[in-house]
Structure 1
Amino acid sequence: MRASAFFLLGLVSAVVADNFPYFQSVEFDQGKFGPYPNRSYVATPQLIAPTLNFLQSSPQCDNGTYTMVCLRGDRIPTTAKSPMILDDKGQLVWMNASYGETFALGVQKYNGSDYLTFWKGNPAVGGHGEGYYYMLDHEYKERYRISAGNGIPGDLHEFRITPEGTALVTLYPAKQATMSWRVRGGKNGFPNRKGWIFDSTVREIDIATDKVIFEWNASDHYEPTESQMPAGMAGARKNDGYDFFHINSIDKDYRGNYLVSARYMHGLTYINGTDGSIIWILGGKRNSFTDLSNGTATSFAYQHDGRWNPEHTGVNIFDNGEHFGTPSAYEGSRAVEILLDEEKMTAQLKRSFVNPRKIRSGSQGNMQVLPNGNVLVGYGLNAAWTEYAADGNVLCDVHIGAESDFNTIAVETYRVNKFPWVGRPTTPPDIAFKDGHVYVSWNGATEVKKWVLQASKGAGRNLKVIQQAEKDGFETAIPVNNTNWCFVKAVALDSKSRKLGVSKLIETGCVLDEVEEQPEDNELPEELPAEEVEIDNDVLDMSYWMNDRILFSLSLWKTLELLGIVGASIGMWELRHSRVLRKMYYVSVRKMWGT
């Protein structure tokens, strides 16, 4: 095994360039850093990432998962709108701003493999959207781009993959309907006048074939007059239809039936998966259940993210409680678990989660029960999320935008989820030199634990290992003396010191007196093959304790020989650089040869 590269190498500490994230920062929430505090990086200046404010944190939130979010809002730079993965410390793991504004980033399994999934399109179409659903593999390569069936663009609110390899999606088709919802002169409706509605459609599609397997339309089962959302002037034009139902989530259970959340009906509708008939309705004007909790189980309003709980004994809901300032029955938006007895048709509130700061979100939001029993709540319209223990105690409370700009659409998250993920990008790590430090990062790589720097004085010289450092956040800064090294590259190692990737070779702007073997055209040589990076796993682990012992293992004659070489080298350097010594040397030579 070739080990010399690491014998005298110690592990150096990375220099942290910034003190992010913030902890209990009053200035952050007062907006003194702007509505969307953010940062960029030396090696990847094109990436604009958020800087979080942790109001409360706990190691119990570090459960082997990553936080996944899609930021939107009118105070977020265009180049910062991106699907985004963050670690438990709030540090960026991956983003790709080329996708722009996206919705509902998460991890879903399809045909035995995990994929990053999200929606991308135009979100400004009648309060919903038209676009497509994307699936990226572990290398962040786009493997599937899915329509809502038969090539039709789908809505942003839902893309849920089932164990059968199908996908649940939502649509908002414009349809003509009698304007029964309009009120004029104290009389209801215009029975002889046609207007427009945005219907709410459930579709299940086969991902492999793009064929529609199941379809259900709200207008076949509900009247617009049942809506809890006033129509106002909507409905006169096709592009301004009355959105009376507003579907925002679909869940399919083991029975093959569908649970649908209707924001403007204040209810969940349970649909027969065979004939599309309504089995029951929880909440709203047509509530089917007796509330055993003094009304707190069925009085949710403008809700989002209705799902079956893991035991299938009830449902989880993010209860917004209001719609942009409408009165709420509760002190803040709440995430609730409601137990259902489908035989006795009773509903009972099991638990409720309300943010300590009583955040009120008039739109968006979600509730996710994590595998360890913790509950993650995203506040949608407001740039915050909270992770609770199963008993309701707050573990982590995070702001990704200033609280002073809550409820202003400055920074929005739609949904926030946590999932395990392994990212293995095929692009090389990024590297840059600035102010005496090498900055290294690798967008999307989740397995990097250490960085090893290799350097040389000349571009044509063999690279030597000069530093290694633990990965520290998204970008690690490592001190390098560019009076000694002119060219440098970085090698990424995993937790077992296995090589994951190699950066390009860059110049440090060195200030050596002479640099041997520089290319005449001043261009860098081509990338060295990865095989030339000599890293021995066993020796790497041994190198730390051998540092202070290796000299004692040298034999006496080797030590003397080494000292002699060093002394001769110093003498030659002095002779080369000292005019006085050169003059004395030449005088002695002339006298010796009689010249």
Structure 2
Amino acid sequence: MLRFLQLVAILGGSTLGVEAVFETTYHSFPLAVQPFTVIERSPHYDPHDTNLFLVCPNGGAVAEPGAAIYKSSGELVWANSTFGNCYDLNLQTFNGRDYLTMWVGAGSAAVGGQMGFGTVLMMNSNYEVVMNVSAVNPEGTDLHEFKIVEPENKTALLTAFHTIPMNLSSIGGPVNGWYSNGVIQEINIATGAVLFNWTTFDHIDLAESYNNISLTGQGSSEENPFDAVHINSIDKDREGNYIISARHSQAIYKIAANGTILWRLGGKMSDFTAIGNGTEFHWQHHARWRMNESHISLFDDGAAVLVSTVNIIDEPVATGKYLKVDQEAMTVSLTKQFFPGPNRNYTLAEGSMEFYQDTVLVGYGLLPWTEAYSFDTEELLFSAVVGPNNAALWKISGISNYRAFQTSTLTFTGHPTRPPNVSVTNGDIYVSWNGATHVASYTLLTGSSVGNVSERLTSVPKTGFETKIPAKGTAEFIAVAALALNGSTLGRSAVYDMSDGTIASS
């Protein structure tokens, strides 16, 4: 049976080029953004449309990779492509304040040995970058993990990779080979000081890897090192120990503060005995402690199909799993499993599983689905796809989303420092305010001089990212005010000249 990395080698590690024709564009703001296509939504799920989904569309069909936030209705709230390639958009707390965090840089999370070389940006609720956080590593910070450690919220866990020479002959590789040394670090966010540094080279034997060096062709050059372990998540427990998810050894490792490996869950050398069925996982992502460290959640990439003629199947379907891990009896059992819908499908890589109150959000990675479930019943409540609902794109990784996270307008208030944007197009007025989370309506103001645009002409409900307002009855100049649900003014646009649509005064 072929494994994931063997298939990538056969296909040359390519995701195939796809013409990017799926972006949504707007009159009032220069965005080209993937839609957030809602496929299923329970009438009981988020009835007030307050949930916010945080994603980073990537792939061959994405003309402008970047970060985006959407509502449950599919409405775009905020998007930014000026940072370019980004991964892992999330809302996290540092020193008592919430920040949007995301990795930006070069590289990808694809399974062909590619890694990310960049940094992590932290943005305030005005979408201003207030700091960046980086691993102390010659090749920069990898994209796979940035987690602020709770409850102190002062340090962050990061992944990095550093290419080093290594004798790979024990696994059929060259004597003078090259190895991608996986690094985990805990960083003091304020100072950048490294508090913990641990590498795969020092602790994980090559024999634990499922990456077949003869089929992947890795290890022969510094530009294409052997990726034996491929760390894709880090978490920390209350006692100061760490767990890492290692995709290419298909295992989760618990690591003591002194660097010693305390146990392995999964892989070739698991220390746990399985109780019941469903405990196995393959090529997994996003392992997290849950329930006072009695459970681990993860996304199980245990099944995949890239093209119709080549299948890789370790399990019949990729799922989110909730595993009970008894560290005294050293047993593991499956407590809950969350299946994709409306169709059960495969995914090659990436993915996430996160908890929000009584729901579970599962991101399917290279299959760009974002799905919410009832934790109690495992019932699918919400299903959406980043991009169009187009299965042909999923087979060639045309659009992907590394992880999916969620917050709410009850928690996060986005208030951009820039005013609302207005466009006068074909006699109609279009308004948008990129990133404003609490706009309920827009009021059109008009006047005969630049300095006196105060006459209220009409008010209309906000109808999506961009709202169209009829221009009938306007004088020479206009402005648009954005109002909250209680009628208070959140912001006001510049004054525009109706004759040519240009800004007359800011």
Same fold (TM over 0.5): yes
1:317 to 298, 303, 306: 298
Corresponding residue for residue 465 of structure 1: 456
Corresponding residue for residue 378 of structure 1: 363
Equivalences, count: 469
Report the 3-state secondary structure (helix = DSSP H, G, I; strand = E; otherwise coil) of the residue aligned with 1:225: helix
Q: Following the alignment from structure 2 to structure 1, what is the Cα–Cα distance between the partners of residues 178 and 311?
A: 25
Corresponding residue for residue 198 of structure 1: 180
Q: Equivalent residues in 2 for 1:210-221 (5 A)?
A: 210-221=192-203
- The normalised TM-score by structure 2 is 0.88
Q: Does 1:96 align with 2:100?
A: no
Corresponding residue for residue 148 of structure 1: 135
2:396 to 402, 408, 413: 408
Q: Equivalent residues in 2 for 1:365-514 (5 A)?
A: 365-371=351-357, 373-390=358-375, 391-401=377-387, 402-420=390-408, 421-459=412-450, 461=452, 463-482=454-473, 484-509=474-499
Corresponding residue for residue 240 of structure 1: 224
Between structures 1 and 2, the one with greater strand share: 2
Q: Does 1:64 align with 2:56?
A: no
Q: Following the alignment from structure 1 to structure 2, what is the Cα–Cα distance between the partners of residues 462 and 285?
A: 72
Residue 152 to residue 436, structure 1, CA distance change in 2 (3 Å):
same
Q: CA deviation at 1:319?
A: 0.4
Q: CA deviation at 1:440?
A: 1.0
Corresponding residue for residue 169 of structure 2: 180
Q: Following the alignment from structure 1 to structure 2, what is the Cα–Cα distance between the partners of residues 160 and 111?
A: 14
Q: CA deviation at 1:435?
A: 3.3
- The normalised TM-score by structure 1 is 0.75
Unaligned runs of 5+ in 1: 1-32, 184-188, 511-521, 528-595
Q: CA deviation at 1:56?
A: 0.8
Report the 3-state secondary structure (helix = DSSP H, G, I; strand = E; otherwise coil) of the residue aligned with 1:244: coil
Corresponding residue for residue 170 of structure 1: 159
Give the conservation status (yes or no) of the 8 Å contact 1:459–1:524: no
Percent identity of paired positions between Structure 1 and Structure 2: 31
Corresponding residue for residue 209 of structure 1: 191
Report the 3-state secondary structure (helix = DSSP H, G, I; strand = E; otherwise coil) of the residue aligned with 2:176: strand
Q: Does 1:281 align with 2:296?
A: no
The amino acid of 2:482's aligned partner reads: A
User: For residues 362-394 of structure 1, what are the alpha-carbon distances to aligned partners after superposition, in whole Å with 9 as ceiling and x for unaligned?
Assistant: 1111111112x2111111111212111121111
Q: CA deviation at 1:230?
A: 0.6
Residue 57 to residue 74, structure 1, CA distance change in 2 (3 Å):
same
Larger radius of gyration between Structure 1 and Structure 2: 1
Between structures 1 and 2, the one with greater helix share: 1
User: For residues 303-362 of structure 1, what are the alpha-carbon distances to aligned partners after superposition, in whole Å with 9 as ceiling and x for unaligned?
Assistant: 111111244211001000146566323221111001011111110001111113122111
Report the 3-state secondary structure (helix = DSSP H, G, I; strand = E; otherwise coil) of the residue aligned with 1:468: strand
The amino acid of 1:376's aligned partner reads: L
Give the conservation status (yes or no) of the 8 Å contact 1:448–1:471: yes
Q: CA deviation at 1:288?
A: 0.7
Q: Following the alignment from structure 1 to structure 2, what is the Cα–Cα distance between the partners of residues 269 and 525?
A: 61
Residue 523 to residue 170, structure 1, CA distance change in 2 (3 Å):
closer
Corresponding residue for residue 130 of structure 1: 117
User: For residues 523-577 of structure 1, what are the alpha-carbon distances to aligned partners after superposition, in whole Å with 9 as ceiling and x for unaligned?
Assistant: 97544xxxxxxxxxxxxxxxxxxxxxxxxxxxxxxxxxxxxxxxxxxxxxxxxxx
Give the conservation status (yes or no) of the 8 Å contact 2:496–2:504: no
Give the conservation status (yes or no) of the 8 Å contact 1:35–1:405: no
1:114 to 64, 86, 98: 98
Q: Following the alignment from structure 1 to structure 2, what is the Cα–Cα distance between the partners of residues 362 and 150?
A: 28
Which is further off, 260-269 or 354-363?
354-363
Q: Following the alignment from structure 1 to structure 2, what is the Cα–Cα distance between the partners of residues 135 and 463?
A: 38
Unaligned runs of 5+ in 2: 1-17
Corresponding residue for residue 82 of structure 1: 66
**RMSD in angstroms over aligned alpha carbons?**
2.2
Give the conservation status (yes or no) of the 8 Å contact 2:386–2:400: no
Q: Following the alignment from structure 2 to structure 1, what is the Cα–Cα distance between the partners of residues 505 and 311?
A: 64
1:258 to 242, 251, 255: 242
User: For residues 443-489 of structure 1, what are the alpha-carbon distances to aligned partners after superposition, in whole Å with 9 as ceiling and x for unaligned?
Assistant: 1111211211111244465531111112121111111215x522110
Give the conservation status (yes or no) of the 8 Å contact 1:383–1:413: yes
Corresponding residue for residue 6 of structure 2: none
Report the 3-state secondary structure (helix = DSSP H, G, I; strand = E; otherwise coil) of the residue aligned with 1:406: helix
Q: CA deviation at 1:65?
A: 2.8
Which is further off, 280-289 or 63-72?
63-72
